[in-house]
Amino acid sequence: MGTPLTDRLAALGRGASPDGRAVVLADRPDGTVVRVGPVVSKAHAPDSDRGDLAARIAVARDPLLAGILLAPLGDGRLLDADGRPASLWPLGAPVAPDDPDAAPWEEAAALLARLHSVPVAELPGPIPPMRGPAKVARALRRLRAAGAPGTAAATVLRAASGLPPWAHGEAAPPRPPTAPLRAGAAPHPPQEHPIRAEAAPPRATPPRTGPAPLRAEAAPPRGASPRTGFLCHGDLHLGQLVRHPATDGPWLLIDVDDLGLGDPAWDLARPAAWYATGLLAPDVWQRFLTAYRAGGGPAVCPEGDPWPELDVPARALTVQSAALALVRAAGERRAPDEVEQALVDACARILALPGGECDRTP
């Protein structure tokens, strides 16, 4: 017998697929998913803002997102599942977890480039902010409450202190989006990767060339996101892609819970952070980045060093991943494993960079 929540989700699914067998695909505090035949019913997080969630689902239904985001079933209206907002979606085939060589990195990058290029003024609104930075703040709150090992937790929290407020959920004054960079714009000069273990010792950041919005003298004030107003996924990883129709259809992005307006660099930040921490092979990162640029994505300059745009979001995602890793280890009463420790080590390298930690002296 299932829980009242999963039973209700199964009933919602059978409303669209009467003969299907109910299978629980995921049951987490932030989302419970039940499959009934070709239909997937999802209960969103209990604290979801229903107005924002409805707006995100309306965006997913818009024709401008066809071929980019998986569209919901029916009219897109929110349903109720044991007091939680719920929605119905068609079943897609996920990325195979046992075949990493077949992971669709290029396809994911191409979809992001298209998503970031959607004309937001033509979408139903108002569109809420992308929720990525708010999730960093939540991960840090969980770390503080978890009683994780002192030295590791302190390293992560100190690395978080060097992030500008916009990168961990604090409000910053809105800024209009910059225009996508021209194909002929001057690239940034080469630069060692700032977080990787094999990176050169910290040194002064070289002067940047290129379009005015990216030059040091034109940089936004500390605490303000350099760009907002682009449609962003907000939580990009390979689990957010499915083939639809299942098995042989094109790849599409799923999960609109964090969808919204923001800095498109955020959607590249998780693979960038994985590359930075040594969890993603350099050739895979280059394939992803090359495909994003080939699609005309506006998050990074069209050629040259992408790190000026990716640095802060990648640091933020590294901090978030390390915080959640320590929370998980503390909950299981064990030391961090190799992957978890790699994330903490990356936070330690962040601290060695210029601006890696806030100066709290009077």
What percent of the chain stands above pLDDT 90? 64
Distance (Å) of CA 289 to CA 17, 302, 320: 40, 10, 22
Same domain, 41 and 125: no
Same domain, 116 and 65: no
Same domain, 152 and 14: no
- Does residue 211 carry a pLDDT above 50? no
Q: Is the pTM of this model over 0.85?
A: no
Residue 113's pLDDT band, with cuts at 50, 70 and 90, is: very high
- Beta carbons of 34 and 9 less than 8 angstroms apart: yes
State pLDDT tens for residues 301-346. Answer: 999 999 999 999 999 999 999 999 999 999 999 999 999 999 999 9
Domain that holds residue 14: 4-91
- Does residue 270 carry a pLDDT above 90? yes
Q: Is 25 helix (H, G, I), strand (E, B) or coil?
A: strand
Residue 19's pLDDT band, with cuts at 50, 70 and 90, is: confident
Per-residue pLDDT at 353: 75
- Number of domains present in the structure of the chain: 2
- Does residue 225 carry a pLDDT above 90? no
Residue 196's pLDDT band, with cuts at 50, 70 and 90, is: low
Q: Is 84 helix (H, G, I), strand (E, B) or coil?
A: strand
| 100 located within any domain | no
Same domain, 47 and 123: no
Dihedral sign of CA atoms 198, 204, 206, 208 in order: positive
| Interval 12-17 mean pLDDT | 89
Same domain, 43 and 172: no
Same domain, 121 and 78: no
State which H helix or E strand residue 93 sits in. strand 93-94
| 102 located within any domain | no
Same domain, 231 and 309: yes
Same domain, 183 and 322: yes
Residue 179's pLDDT band, with cuts at 50, 70 and 90, is: very low
| Interval 226-255 mean pLDDT | 92
Same domain, 43 and 119: no
Q: Which of 15-19, 195-199, 200-204, 308-312 shows the lowest per-residue confidence on average (mean pLDDT)? A: 200-204
Alpha-carbon distance of 227 to 129, in angstroms, equals 12
Same domain, 137 and 186: yes
Same domain, 14 and 158: no
Among the listed residues 177, 176, 251, 189, the one whose alpha carbon sits nearest the alpha carbon of residue 216: 189
Residue 215's pLDDT band, with cuts at 50, 70 and 90, is: very low
If one compares 120 and 184, the residue with the highest pLDDT of the two is: 120
- With residues binned 3-state (H G I as helix, E B as strand, rest as coil), the percentages for the chain, rounded to 5, are 40, 15, 45
Same domain, 151 and 298: yes
What percent of the chain stands above pLDDT 70? 80
Alpha-carbon distance of 167 to 131, in angstroms, equals 10
| 105 located within any domain | no
| 129 located within any domain | yes
Per-residue pLDDT at 167: 80
